[in-house]
């Protein structure tokens, strides 16, 4: 089993969505956690947009990265540039991965426009996680 820590700024949207999809696509081959430089709470719109795609992330928690300081991970995935720049040092054995996604929590406009922004980011993260989980599961065999 491979252990993955997904990081973003507030651990409210992007890293939560990525955690949900990596768990979904990776099954028992991947152990996935997420955290942020800060902990802003799981965004209700992230929960709703994932639920619309059949993934329940309502039980996930928003955590700070320092909560995992004593743990080892095989991979540390940053999903925003801020987290990549401010990512704390993890053991050299952890492979660092990066994929920047827009922050849907910063979307403005009507409710429909904000929902569309969340769906767009969700789909980008979904495709990335589908590919990544496939590669990592294949590597564990």
Q: State the pairing for strand pair 95-98/30-36.
A: unpaired
Q: What is the distance between the alpha carbons of residues 104 and 45, in angstroms, rounded to a whole number?
A: 9
Q: What is the distance between the alpha carbons of residues 53 and 137, in angstroms, rounded to a whole number?
A: 22
Residue 6 in contact with residue 73, Cβ under 8 Å?
A: no
Q: Which domains does the chain have, with CATH numbers?
A: 2-139 (3.40.50.2300)
The residues annotated with a catalytic role in the active site are 8, 80, 87
> Encoding tokens for residue 90?
């993890």
Q: What tens-digit pLDDT sequence spans the chain (141 residues)? A: 999 999 998 899 999 999 999 999 999 999 999 999 889 999 999 999 999 999 999 999 999 988 988 888 999 999 987 666 666 555 557 899 999 999 999 999 999 999 999 999 999 999 999 999 999 988 877
Q: Report the pLDDT value the prediction gives residue 85, as an integer from 0 to 100.
A: 64
Q: Report the pLDDT value the prediction gives residue 93, as an integer from 0 to 100.
A: 77
């Amino acid at each position: 089993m491979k252990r993955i820590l997904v990081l973003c700024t507030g651990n409210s949207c992007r890293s939560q969505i990525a955690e949900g999809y990596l768990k979904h696509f990776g099954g028992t081959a991947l152990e996935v956690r997420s955290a942020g430089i800060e902990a802003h709470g799981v965004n209700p719109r992230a929960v709703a947009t994932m639920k619309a795609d059949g993934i329940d992330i309502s039980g996930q928690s928003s955590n700070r990265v320092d909560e995992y300081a004593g743990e080892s991970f095989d991979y540390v995935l940053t999903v925003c540039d801020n987290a990549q720049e401010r990512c704390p040092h993890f053991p050299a054995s952890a492979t660092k991965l990066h994929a920047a996604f827009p922050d849907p929590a910063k979307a403005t406009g009507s409710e429909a426009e904000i929902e569309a922004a969340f769906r767009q980011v969700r789909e980008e993260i979904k495709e990335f996680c589908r590919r990544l989980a496939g590669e990592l599961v294949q590597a564990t065999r």
